[in-house]
Amino acid sequence: MKEVILVKDGELALKGLNRSTFEDKLIKNIRRRLSHLGKFHFEKAQSTISVMPENGDTDLDEAAEIIGKVFGIVGYSRAALCDKDFDTILKTAEEYLYNKLEAVRTFKVESKRSDKKFPYKSPEISREAGAYILKRHPHLKVDVHNPDLIVYIEVRDRYTFIHGNQEKGAGGMPVGTNGKGMLLISGGIDSPVAGWMMAKRGIELAAVHFASPPYTSKRAEMKVHELLRKVAQYSGRIKLYTVRFTEIQEAIRDNCPEDTFTLVMRRHMMRIASMLAEKEGCQALITGESVGQVASQTIYALGCTDKAAAYPVFRPCIGMDKTEIIEISRKIDTFDISIEPYEDCCTVFTPKHPKTKPTPELLEETEAVIDWTELLKIAAETAEIRYISLREDAE
Binding positions for ligand ATP, rule: CB under 6 A: 184-186, 188-191, 208-210, 269, 287-289, 293-294, 296, 344-346
State the minimum distance, in angstroms, from the CB of residue 227 to ligand ATP. Answer: 9
Buried/exposed code over 253-269 (b: 16+ C-beta within 10 A; e: otherwise): eeebeebbbbbbbbbbb
Alpha helices in the chain (DSSP H): 19-34, 60-67, 86-96, 98-103, 122-136, 190-200, 218-235, 246-255, 261-280, 299-307, 322-331, 335-338, 360-367, 373-381
Please name the helix (run of DSSP H) or strand (run of DSSP E) that holds residue 142, with its range, or none.
strand 141-142
The region of 32-40, 81-89, 185-193, 209-217 touching Mg ion under the rule CB under 5 A is 185-193
SS3 247: helix
State the minimum distance, in angstroms, from the CB of residue 212 to ligand ATP. Answer: 8
Task: Indicate the residue among 41 and 322 with the shorter CB distance to Mg ion.
Answer: 322
State the minimum distance, in angstroms, from the CB of residue 308 to Mg ion. Answer: 18
Q: Does 354 bind Mg ion (CB under 5 A)?
A: no
Task: Indicate the residue among 108 and 201 with the shorter CB distance to ligand ATP.
Answer: 201
Task: Indicate the residue among 191 and 274 with the shorter CB distance to ligand ATP.
Answer: 191
Q: Does 188 bind Mg ion (CB under 5 A)?
A: yes
SS3 110: strand
Rg (CA), the chain: 26
Q: Does 164 bind Mg ion (CB under 5 A)?
A: no
C-alpha–C-alpha distance, residues 13 and 30, integer Å: 18
Task: Indicate the residue among 50 and 287 with the shorter CB distance to ligand ATP.
Answer: 287
Q: Does 10 bind Mg ion (CB under 5 A)?
A: no
Angle between helix 190-200 and 322-331 (nearest 10): 70
Q: Which of 48, 186, 287, 297 binds Mg ion (CB under 5 A)?
A: 186
C-alpha–C-alpha distance, residues 299 and 296, integer Å: 9
State the minimum distance, in angstroms, from the CB of residue 288 to Mg ion. Answer: 7
The item of ligand ATP, Mg ion, none sharing an interface with residue 191, based on CB under 5 to 8 Å by kind, is: ligand ATP
State the minimum distance, in angstroms, from the CB of residue 327 to ligand ATP. Answer: 14
The region of 97-105, 183-191, 221-229, 238-246 touching Mg ion under the rule CB under 5 A is 183-191
Write phi, then psi, for 314 (nearest 5 degrees).
Answer: -90, 125
Task: Indicate the residue among 77 and 334 with the shorter CB distance to Mg ion.
Answer: 334
Task: Indicate the residue among 151 and 295 with the shorter CB distance to ligand ATP.
Answer: 295
State the minimum distance, in angstroms, from the CB of residue 322 to Mg ion. Answer: 12
Task: Indicate the residue among 101 and 220 with the shorter CB distance to ligand ATP.
Answer: 220
Torsion of CA 349, 355, 356, 361, to 10 degrees: -120
The item of ligand ATP, Mg ion, none sharing an interface with residue 296, based on CB under 5 to 8 Å by kind, is: ligand ATP
C-alpha–C-alpha distance, residues 282 and 257, integer Å: 33
State the minimum distance, in angstroms, from the CB of residue 334 to ligand ATP. Answer: 10
Task: Indicate the residue among 76 and 241 with the shorter CB distance to ligand ATP.
Answer: 241
Closest CA to 192 of 308, 304, 339, 13: 339
Write phi, then psi, for 241 (nearest 5 degrees).
Answer: -100, 125
The residue sitting closest to ligand ATP, measured at its beta carbon, is: 188
DSSP conformational letter for 310: S
The item of ligand ATP, Mg ion, none sharing an interface with residue 77, based on CB under 5 to 8 Å by kind, is: none
Q: Does 195 bind Mg ion (CB under 5 A)?
A: no
The DSSP string of 30-83 is HHHHHGGG--EEEEEETTEEEEEESSTT--HHHHHHHHTT-TTEEEEEEEEEE-
Residues 6+ apart with CB under 8 A from 103: none
Residues within the interface to Mg ion (CB under 5 A): 186, 188, 344
